[in-house]
A and B are shown apart, each in its own frame.
Chain A
């Protein structure tokens, strides 16, 4: 295998043994990009002139990383893949970027994404779609599609994404890599351009579970700049990487194996559950009775929050400013309205308007307040189940990667791509997606594991035990 195809922990071993240098690793990533980026389009833009320090401290982690285009890197254009932020160069670093810089990370580029993370396919990007490295006619998933595609195509060794309703796990699943949404509050969101603040969480996308724990070690921790960041002792997540799941109680929610699930996905997931059983886990059927309301609850609460968060993009301070040719209302209002008309794509407009409608006088109780109450019911389902279960295992996505364009005209079909991932965001709990098979068409299938809040170690333990007894994570794309 070429250097860029290795995992971060394999590369770190080589660097520490003096057999390779960070500069050589970066060079092999750049070579891969020049070869495959034309097909994959994982990046919104590349970051050049990276200073590479070949001298290492004990805690250095000089690994080439892709950063989703909604996380601020100081003085480097960051746009959420939207026209409205074109030219925006943040005057500060996000906390995760600061932590990565401290660890000597090498920033390869800003990964492409759905505009403002609104999407499950990476097709709503103002820069055009990213393609799935396993089949370039298919979507990579979204919204962190660029991050997942960069890792799957070895155009980065690992990546950072953000997950509001599945935006790390679903693309990780569709691209055959490992993606974690940590518990709400574990990773600081300072410098993450907000979509839905009660749901957004930053997390790692990697080639295997060991890398995932390593990267979470780097980016997690309390931050006084994020008022939702949780003050707690920082665990060493790699301590959970032990291959022993004897007696671990795994719940399988019957509501997740329903009509609409691809039979190949169902079979792979059920085979994986058998595998976990053979490793000593105790598996039982459970019920999460409000599952069918999760997508509807999400699309009201997330769009309501988005409509408020995106109010700041008005052409006043930074990014795009557009003025209509002739006056419509008054000069300043015309400027706001024209900037937002030209700056936002169709899905962004759709969501901002849906959220505004759900919050508007006369509809607030029927839509927004009701959705918040149903959210309580969904969260209660999980609280109840975790009294007798250590974790829950499900598919990550009901299908493998779909064709580019296939779901663009049907918002509901697109929204249902996230049917299995949304509940973890609504409940604030951690969830990981790991590769668990391939379809006949050679498209990856993913397994999702969920645990109770702040029990990332349980996810890593079960995921690691599974990964150590399978080879799915070792497959690499040939492009």
Chain B
């Protein structure tokens, strides 16, 4: 079943910093849940197509014409930090 190492790996894929104190109970929780969903293995699904979406609609396009959208100023109004019309973030490359 799932180990604390797996949980820490899933946390890093999820971009969540997890302390050791948090990892332990979470491992237990996930272990219980994975044990519960194990029942799905009982069914033979070899000839079944997956359903990712219930409606028979696909490739929904809109007409290719210019429409109004949020201005830069409106979009940045709620920015945590901004600089010269852009979002400001911590250093990406050191």
A residues touching B (Cβ–Cβ < 8 Å)?
87-89, 91-92, 184-185, 198, 224, 227-228, 230, 290, 292-293, 295-297, 299-300, 307, 311, 314-319, 321, 323-324, 328, 330-338, 340-341, 344, 346, 349-350, 352-354, 356-357, 360, 366-367, 369-377, 379, 411-412, 415, 427-428, 453
Closest to A338 in B: B17
Q: Is the CB of B50 within 8 A of A375?
A: yes
CB distance from A189 to the nearest CB of B (A): 13
Answer whether residue B66 sits at the interface, using C-beta atoms and an 8 A cutoff.
no
B37 at the A/B interface (Cβ < 8 Å)?
A: yes
Q: Which residue of chain B has the shortest Cβ distance to A376 in the bound complex? A: B51
What's the minimum C-beta distance from A201 to chain B, rounded to whole angstroms?
11
Given the known A-B contacts A369-B50, A379-B54, are A357 and B87 also in contact in the complex, defined by CB atoms under 8 Å? no
| Chain B residue at minimal CB-CB distance from A227 | B60
Residues on the B chain within 8 Å of A290, using CB: 43
Whether B5 is near chain A, meaning CB under 8 Å from some CB there, is no
Closest partner residue, chain A, to B9 (CB atom) = A360
Known: A297-B40, A300-B37. A373 touches B90 (CB 8 A): no
CB within 8 A of A337: which of B15, B34, B89? B15
Q: Point out residues on B near A: beta carbons under 8 Å.
A: 2, 6-7, 9-19, 22, 26, 29-30, 32-34, 36-37, 39-41, 43, 45, 48-55, 57, 60, 62, 70, 74-75, 77-81, 87, 89-92, 94
Expressed in whole angstroms, the minimum distance between the Cβ of B58 and any Cβ of chain A is 9
Known: A352-B16, A370-B40, A376-B48. A316 touches B89 (CB 8 A): yes
Chain B proximity of A95: nearest CB distance (Å):
15
How far is A234 from B85 in the complex, measured between Cα atoms in Å?
Answer: 42
Interface pair A377/B45, CB less than 8 Å apart: yes
Q: Which B residues lie within 8 Å of A366 (CB)?
A: 41
How far is A290 from B33 in the complex, measured between Cα atoms in Å? Answer: 19
The listed residue (A331, A349, A369) touching B26 by CB distance below 8 A is: A349
A350 smallest CB distance to B (angstroms): 5
Q: How far apart are the CA atoms of A227 and B55 in the complex, in Å? A: 11
Which residue of B9, B18, B33 is within 8 Å of A354 (Cβ)?
B33
Contact A353 B74 (CB under 8 A): no
- Shortest C-beta distance, B14 to chain A (Å), equals 5
Question: Distance (Å) between the CB of A317 and the closest chain B CB?
Answer: 6
The interface residues of chain A lying within 8 Å CB-to-CB of B12 are: 337
Task: Find out whether the CB atom of A356 lies under 8 angstroms from the CB atom of B10.
Answer: yes
Is A198 a contact partner of B79 (Cβ separation < 8 A)? no
CB distance from A362 to the nearest CB of B (A): 10
Q: How far is the CA of A366 from the CA of B42 in the complex (A)?
A: 12
What 15 new A-B contacts, CB under 8 Å, besides A337-B16, A354-B33?
A224-B62, A228-B55, A323-B90, A324-B17, A334-B17, A340-B16, A349-B16, A350-B30, A356-B14, A357-B10, A370-B41, A374-B40, A374-B43, A374-B48, A412-B32
| Cα A307 to Cα B15 with chains together (Å) | 11
CA distance A87 to B10 in the complex (A): 28
Pair A367/B62 contact, Cβ less than 8 Å: no
Which chain B positions have C-beta within 8 A of A367? 37, 40
A-B contacts, 9 of them at CB < 8 A, read: A92-B70, A300-B40, A307-B14, A318-B79, A352-B16, A354-B33, A369-B50, A372-B50, A412-B32
Q: Are A341 and B49 in contact (CB under 8 A)?
A: no
Given A330-B91, A353-B10, A228-B57 contact (CB < 8 Å): yes
A350 pairs with B29, CB closer than 8 A: yes
Distance to closest chain B CB from A228 (angstroms): 6
On whether A332 and B89 interact (CB within 8 A), knowing A184-B54, A367-B37, the answer reads yes
CB distance from A311 to the nearest CB of B (A): 8
Q: Which residues of chain B come closer than 8 Å to A453, judged between CB atoms?
A: 54
Query: A427 vs B51: C-alpha distance in the bound complex, in angstroms?
Result: 9
B25, closest chain A residue (CB): A346
Judging by beta carbons under 8 Å apart, are B29 and A321 in contact? no
What residues of B have a CB within 8 angstroms of the CB of A293 in the complex? 39-40, 43
With A293-B40, A331-B90, A373-B45 known as contacts, the answer to whether A230 contacts B33 (CB < 8 A) is no
Smallest Cβ-Cβ distance to A349: which chain B residue? B16
Q: A296 — which chain B residues lie within 8 A by C-beta? A: 36-37, 39-40
Bound Cα distance from A415 to B32, whole angstroms? 12
List, in ascending order, chain B residues with CB within 8 A of A360's CB.
Answer: 9-10, 13
Would A353 and B37 be within 8 Å (CB), given that A337-B17, A369-B50 are in contact?
A: no
Of A92, A341, A366, most B-chain CB atoms within 10 Å: A341
Give every chain B residue within 8 A of A292 (Cβ-Cβ): 39
Is A376's CB under 8 angstroms from B90's CB?
A: no
- Contact in complex: A319, B80 (CB < 8 Å): yes
Q: B residues within 8 A CB of A89?
A: 77-78
Scoring B60, B87, B89 by chain A CB atoms within 10 A of each residue's CB, the highest score goes to: B89
Cβ–Cβ contact B75 & A91, under 8 A = yes
Partner of A428, one of B32, B54, B80, B91: B54
Separation of A324 and B22 alpha carbons in the complex (Å): 17
Q: A340-B15, A341-B18, A354-B33 are in contact. Are A335 and B89 (CB under 8 A)?
A: yes
